Amino acid sequence: MQGYLTRLAWTDAAIVVASIALAQFVRFGAGSALEPVAATKTPIIIVSVALGICWLLALRAFHTLDRRIAGSGSQEYSRVVSACLSVFGVLAMIDLLFRLNIARGFLALALPIGTIGLVLARWGWRQRLGNQRLKKKNLENVLIVGNLGSAVPLMERLIKEPTLGYGVVGICLPTHSGSRETVAVGDARVPVFGTFDDVSTSVVRSGATTVAVTSAEALGHAAMQALSWDLEGLDVDMVVSPGVTDVAGPRVMVRPVAGLPLLHIDKPRYDGANRFRKAAVDRLGSAAILAVLAPVFVAVAVAIKLDSKGPVFYRATRVGINNTPFLMWKFRSMVQDADSQKSHLKAQNEGAGVLFKMRNDPRVTRVGTFIRRYSIDELPQLLNVLGGTMSLVGPRPPLPDEVEKYDGRVARRMLVKPGMTGLWQVSGRSDLSWEESVRLDLSYVENWSIMQDALILWKTVKAVVAKDGAY
């Protein structure tokens, strides 16, 4: 991981230098290094060098190379953008207060070029890192400390998703767990390195770079403190699992009370300013996309009419926010009497849980096969988004007979509008199990935010182009 961070640092430096040099060339032309700018008549080359140094220092000040967030999520991009905006914001205030009159055209070019370049470079490195992690490379070696009840779910998740950046190298169990040598986690066998009293020596023996404690209550306060002290000299990170799942960072805050760190988990926020901003983005975004895709709508409509008898659009009843039914627009991808044939095909259902799905559904037309493969049949749902019954991003819109079978836990997915895309769309679509689909929907409902929506929309393009799980 240290090599990856070193390459990131050099890439940051190269992009900052290149963006400043390009801005200087465009604004002042070639051979302008000694041209005086600002009220102090300082040569532009000195201004450029000072800007570059401040920019790189800002990136370090915002901990953009923190190994805990590198390649792991949106926080990495957020820190890079915040660092860029901060350095130019401070520079603008200094320029205004002291009336330096620094060339604004030069700065107006350098900021967007550099910021976009840095974000794109991080994205490119993250793709490479993700591919390496799929091959079990560049992983943090994690030693799990806890009883089987709390440790196995964490190990299952980490082993199943190596892109999270952790490779499980072993586990330390309570003293009363016997003399077993390995623990079965799915198809894998995780070695047991000892008991809670052997964590420090187990770190050295296993080559762990991270210790994950899943049973803090079993260790006790004194043992937890002693363990953190022991790990200080081993250059090993220590993380503690709080025992809650699918709770995003913005809802979690650590509050020290009487010397004890208490994990405060905020309530999910479904109303207020967030909902207003989401509605505004939905309406404006859907209107803009509809305007751009108007030629595609015309071409698909013509193809559907020429391919088979029936209407261009198919309007199906779905259940929306607060269990309110609505008619969802889609391009017709099946024969005209597809719904009446569904009862004869139940024995061939390949869907998970209460979902009905068939990989080779005989009701799908030739044009329908194509538009389903690339999710073109779902584009008319933009009309639902524009009308307010759906959102660009949200849980999958369910059928009424599906909702009737929901239990109290699953019913929470109806607290927000269903979406054209969502976590289910970018995580496997029809290939997901029912339990995983529910987990993703509930995770979205509990933690949704504008930034999360933006990332899901970005990932949806990749999922659609790759045709992952579409049939």
The confidence band for 249, taking pLDDT boundaries of 50, 70 and 90, is: low
pLDDT top residue among 372 and 299: 299
Determine the topology of domain 140-243 in CATH.
Answer: Rossmann fold (3.40.50)
Residues 6+ apart with CB under 8 A from 5: 65, 67, 70
Q: Residue range 112-136: average pLDDT?
A: 87
Does the pLDDT of residue 162 top 50, yes or no? yes
- The first and second tokens of residue 442, run together, are 């509930």
Q: Residue range 182-206: average pLDDT?
A: 85
Q: Angle at which helices 44-61 and 104-134 pack, to 10 degrees?
A: 40
In the chain, pLDDT over 90 holds for what percent of residues?
15
Closest CA to 334 of 298, 299, 358: 358
Q: Residue range 151-165: average pLDDT?
A: 85
The confidence band for 351, taking pLDDT boundaries of 50, 70 and 90, is: low
Residues 6+ apart with CB under 8 A from 416: 270, 321, 391, 394, 395, 444, 445, 448
Q: pLDDT, tens digit, for every residue of 37-65?
A: 665 666 778 878 888 899 999 999 988 88
Does the pLDDT of residue 180 top 90, yes or no? no
Does the pLDDT of residue 178 top 70, yes or no? no
Lowest-pLDDT range of 135-144, 174-183, 293-302: 174-183
Q: What is the largest distance, in Å, between two alpha-carbon atoms of the chain? A: 83
Angle CA(56)–CA(58)–CA(61) in degrees, nearest 5?
115
Helix residue ranges, H only, 66-208:
74-98, 104-134, 148-160, 199-206
Does the pLDDT of residue 348 top 70, yes or no? no
Does the pLDDT of residue 268 top 70, yes or no? no
pLDDT of residue 118: 92
Q: Which amino acid is at 393?
A: V
Closest CA to 296 of 411, 402, 374: 374
Segment holding 237, helix H or strand E: strand 237-240
The confidence band for 329, taking pLDDT boundaries of 50, 70 and 90, is: very high
Torsion, Cα of 254, 256, 261, 263 (10° steps):
-30
Q: Angle at which helices 2-28 and 44-61 pack, to 10 degrees?
A: 150
Q: Which residue has the tokens 């490195």?
A: 125
pLDDT of residue 172: 87
pLDDT top residue among 158 and 444: 158
DSSP 396-416: ----HHHHTT--TTGGGGGGS
Strand partners, 326: 318
Does the pLDDT of residue 191 top 50, yes or no? yes
Residues 6+ apart with CB under 8 A from 4: 70, 71, 125, 129, 138
Residues 6+ apart with CB under 8 A from 429: 463, 468, 469, 470
The ranges assigned to domains in the chain are 2-134, 140-243, 273-466
Does the pLDDT of residue 153 top 50, yes or no? yes
Instruction: State the chain's mean pLDDT as an integer.
Output: 79
pLDDT of residue 471: 45
Q: pLDDT, tens digit, for every residue of 75-110?
A: 788 889 889 989 888 887 877 776 766 667 777 888
- The first and second tokens of residue 268, run together, are 């999910």
Q: Residue range 18-26: average pLDDT?
A: 87
CA distance 58 to 163: 28
Alpha carbon 103 to its chain centroid, in Å, reads: 38
Q: pLDDT, tens digit, for every residue of 60-79?
A: 998 888 877 777 667 788 88
Closest CA to 191 of 170, 167, 214, 168: 170
